[in-house]
């Protein structure tokens, strides 16, 4: 068990990267189904507005702190989080972990061609890494029964140890939650847009921006049309809501 921190009703995990990987190793060896969600500010706000999303996070085994504002909020609430663990950092760590432990990987989601490019990059770095499947569903706001069965069949036929899912949040987290009972026991990680970055198809902010909490600004500059609503309209709501949470606690 690990400590969790309540941020706007979402129970965010407080755990170190090393302890997390140790827990993953044990779960995979024990053939357990483990769900991992990665929650930046926009995910926590989505959960605050939507009970279904909040349930997906609060029934996940691990809900990781992705973003300095989430870490700052936890400290402001006097319940500090041990470590910020972003999807962009976790993906290469998981790939190295899988290669070192001889665990198999399945890549689910992202745009057509991204999974194949990521596989190529992974095998260049870790020639012994076992990637047992790639599946790219067509874009749908909600997967219909036919497509959902194709996704389940693809994953279950490959029987991987780790399934990395890039369907954007919270869609990827809802998909895991809704299909747990039909999925092969494995580690399921909603990894978001990290596929493109590790594959070299998108750039990450410079390191100095990470600690300063400015990665959002870099992404806004890179993709203003896609990101302006998230960062300039939705994200500013986070601060007053966290202040309200602190001062309305009983």
Average pLDDT over all residues of the chain: 93
Please, which pLDDT band fits residue 233 given cuts at 50, 70 and 90? Answer: confident
Please say if the pLDDT value at position 219 is more than 90.
no
- The answer to whether 161 and 133 are in contact (CB under 8 A) is no
Instruction: State mean pLDDT over 159-169.
Output: 96
> DSSP code of 61?
S
- The answer to whether 152 and 160 are in contact (CB under 8 A) is no
The per-residue pLDDT for 229 is 75
The per-residue pLDDT for 125 is 97
The per-residue pLDDT for 195 is 96
Q: pLDDT tens across 167-206, in order?
A: 989 999 999 999 999 999 999 999 999 999 999 998 777 8
Please say if the pLDDT value at position 250 is more than 70.
no
With pLDDT > 70 as the criterion, what percentage of the chain qualifies?
A: 99
The per-residue pLDDT for 202 is 83
Please, which pLDDT band fits residue 104 given cuts at 50, 70 and 90? Answer: very high
> DSSP code of 237?
G
Please say if the pLDDT value at position 247 is more than 60.
yes
Render the burial of 128-150: b for 16+ CB within 10 Å, e for the rest: ebebebbbbbeeeeebeeeebee
Q: Which residue has the tokens 């400015």?
A: 214
Please say if the pLDDT value at position 217 is more than 80.
no
Q: What's the pTM value of the predicted model, to 2 decimals?
A: 0.93
Handedness of CA 198, 123, 37, 170 (dihedral sign): positive
Domain ranges of the chain: 10-247
């Amino acid at each position: 068990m690990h400590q969790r921190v309540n941020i706007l009703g979402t129970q965010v995990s407080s755990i170190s990267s090393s302890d997390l990987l140790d827990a993953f190793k044990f779960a995979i060896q024990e053939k357990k189904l483990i769900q991992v969600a990665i929650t930046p500010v926009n995910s926590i706000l989505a959960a605050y507005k939507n009970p279904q999303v909040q349930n997906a996070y609060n029934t996940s085994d691990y809900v990781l702190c992705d973003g300095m504002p989430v870490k700052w909020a936890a400290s402001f609430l006097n319940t500090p989080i041990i470590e910020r663990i972003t999807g962009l950092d976790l993906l290469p760590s998981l790939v190295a972990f899988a290669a070192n432990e001889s665990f198999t990987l399945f890549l689910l989601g992202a745009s057509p061609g991204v999974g194949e490019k990521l596989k190529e990059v992974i095998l260049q770095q870790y020639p012994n890494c076992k990637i047992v499947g790639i599946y790219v569903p067509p874009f749908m706001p909600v997967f219909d029964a036919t497509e959902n069965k194709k996704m389940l069949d693809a994953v279950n036929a490959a029987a991987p140890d780790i399934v990395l899912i890039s369907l954007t949040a919270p869609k990827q987290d809802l998909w895991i939650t809704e299909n747990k009972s039909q999925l092969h026991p494995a580690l399921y990680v909603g990894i978001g847009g990290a596929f493109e970055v590790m594959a070299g198809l998108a750039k990450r902010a410079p390191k100095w921006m990470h600690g300063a909490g400015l990665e959002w600004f870099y992404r806004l500059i890179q993709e203003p049309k896609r990101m302006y609503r998230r960062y300039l309209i939705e994200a500013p709501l986070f601060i007053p809501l966290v202040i309200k949470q602190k001062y309305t606690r009983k």
